[in-house]
């Protein structure tokens, strides 16, 4: 029998597909990693383990066998793992969890053995397993709860990590964005001793990341990386790299020698909201969209503590016919349509906004305890990514509690509706003027919008002088 892949594994199916780098330097160091300072601090210790293990073993310390990186996609987990190998000057193995499993039974376990055999031959080294949840899921969740191929692979991985004898110099680094579904045996001390959270960066982290990715790009004098960082909360490192690349492409397409704030602005719009469309020419529809968006802007600006408007535009993007860029709390636009055009002219354009306010109100009640029901979270299981868990959470709730939740959600939504209704009624003249200018210019900056609004009404003190431009979230 046998063959190229060994006994029982023709065509080399049993051999590891690990992308092995024998170079002592991966080309990546901690200087190339920005925005995740806490994670870097943890990994500097790992580098010390690899460089000077005797310093730790001399005092009886046990070198950690594994480090689990937990965080959303694009936050730099793979880059961090490469930086460890680069800083320590050791070989780097990388493989995706999904590459362990094939159609033949036993192939995954064989690949695990092959991978660790190579690692031991080249110790000290880093073994990086990306998306480990593909193979490290809790056992017993397969079809019929049986011991399927994935479970055999996981069992072999656990065995290999237990099999490190003494200080072998092998450190396993794994990455996942679903740590909640990993098998508990994988997370116990002696396997993945440490869990390091790699979350989306804060404003300081985003600024550092932009400096790294912008080091090879030419910017005009009007571009501030700090302002870009302020406008992009929630962006991962990969998102920020993509943003600067999109801006560079736009600058090249427009025949510019450098990236201006216009390219940055257009790139953020494109990434968040989609491709730019053609402005509608139908007068009534255009006016309706204008009042819809101005309704967002007016109610947000007159709500104390609300984030400032960055801009209001009638330029369509993606599925949206117009956009107001700020983070919305309430939904004012249905009200503005009712008052300006009458009940018979209320459109379905506010459907997404109504879904948003209902979702926010429900979160306030069931997750954050911000209602008369009580200061406790009601639906932990209902937030699960598992459909069956969500169904069980709903079924385990009493009928009265479900009715109380629905009532509390409606009360919050109704209260927000009444506040927005009064704001639009009180500022009808201001809205008419803003819409008139918006229809002419098609895009208003936040400063232009606030200048017109302040002619007709007093903007709350905390909203009067806006901070550096905030994140743009289309509504």
Q: How far is CA 386 from CA 198, 240, 253, 297, 396, in A?
A: 23, 30, 45, 37, 16
CA distance 452 to 458: 11
Proportion of the chain in helix, strand, coil states, percent, rounded to 5? 50, 10, 40
Is 293 a residue of the active site? yes
CA distance 211 to 206: 9
Question: Can you name the residues that pair with 82 across neighbouring β-strands?
Answer: none
Helices (H) and strands (E) in the chain, counts: 18, 9
**Pairing label, strands 443-445, 311-313:** antiparallel
**Residue closest to 154 by CA, chosen among 140, 169, 164, 166:** 140
CA distance 148 to 100: 13
Question: Can you name the residues that pair with 125 across neighbouring β-strands?
Answer: 170
> Considering 87, 99, 293, 337, which one is annotated as catalytic?
293
CA dihedral sign of residues 344, 350, 352, 356: negative
The residues annotated with a catalytic role in the active site are 293
């Amino acid at each position: 029998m046998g063959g190229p892949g060994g006994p029982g594994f023709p065509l080399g199916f049993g051999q590891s597909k690990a992308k092995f780098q024998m170079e002592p330097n991966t080309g990546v160091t901690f200087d190339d990693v920005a925005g995740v300072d806490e994670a870097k601090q943890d990994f500097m210790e790992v580098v010390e383990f690899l460089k000077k293990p005797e310093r730790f073993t001399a005092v009886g310390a046990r070198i950690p066998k594994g480090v689990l990186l937990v965080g959303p996609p694009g936050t730099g987990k793979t880059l961090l793992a490469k930086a460890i190998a680069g800083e320590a000057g050791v070989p780097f193995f990388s493989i995706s969890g999904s590459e362990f499993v094939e159609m033949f039974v036993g192939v995954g376990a064989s690949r695990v053995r092959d991978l660790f055999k190579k690692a031991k031959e080249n110790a000290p080294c880093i073994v990086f397993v990306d998306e480990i949840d593909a193979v490290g899921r809790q056992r017993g969740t397969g079809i019929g709860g049986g011991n399927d191929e994935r479970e055999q692979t996981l069992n072999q991985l656990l065995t290999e990590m237990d099999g490190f004898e003494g200080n072998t110099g092998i450190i396993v680094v794994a990455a996942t964005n679903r740590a909640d579904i990993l098998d508990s045996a994988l997370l116990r001390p002696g396997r993945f001793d440490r869990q390091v959270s790699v979350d989306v960066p804060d404003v300081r982290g985003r600024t550092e990341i932009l400096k790294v990715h912008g080091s090879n790009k030419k910017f005009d004098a009007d571009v501030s990386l700090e302002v870009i960082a302020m406008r992009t909360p929630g962006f991962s490192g990969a998102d920020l790299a993509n943003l600067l690349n999109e801006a560079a492409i736009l600058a090249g397409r427009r025949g510019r020698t450098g990236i201006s704030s216009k390219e940055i602005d257009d790139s953020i719009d494109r990434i968040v909201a989609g491709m730019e469309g053609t402005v509608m020419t139908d007068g009534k529809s255009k006016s309706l969209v204008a009042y819809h968006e101005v309704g967002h802007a007016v109610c947000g600006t007159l709500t104390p503590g609300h984030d400032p408007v960055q801009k209001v535009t009638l330029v369509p993007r993606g599925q949206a016919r117009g956009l107001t860029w700020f983070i919305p709390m309430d939904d004012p636009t249905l009200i503005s349509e009712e008052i300006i055009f009458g009940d018979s002219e209320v459109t379905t354009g506010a459907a997404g906004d109504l879904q948003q306010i209902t979702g926010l109100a429900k979160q306030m009640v069931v997750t954050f305890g911000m209602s008369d029901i009580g200061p406790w979270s009601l639906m932990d299981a209902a937030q699960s990514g598992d459909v069956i868990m969500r169904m069980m959470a709903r079924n385990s709730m009493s009928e009265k509690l479900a009715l109380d939740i629905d009532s509390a959600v409606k009360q919050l939504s109704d209260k927000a509706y009444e506040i927005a209704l009064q704001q639009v009624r009180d500022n009808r003249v201001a809205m008419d003027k803003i819409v008139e200018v918006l229809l002419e210019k098609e895009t208003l900056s936040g400063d232009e919008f606030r200048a017109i609004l302040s002619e007709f009404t007093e903007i709350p003190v905390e909203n009067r002088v806006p901070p550096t431009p905030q994140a743009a979230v289309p509504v």
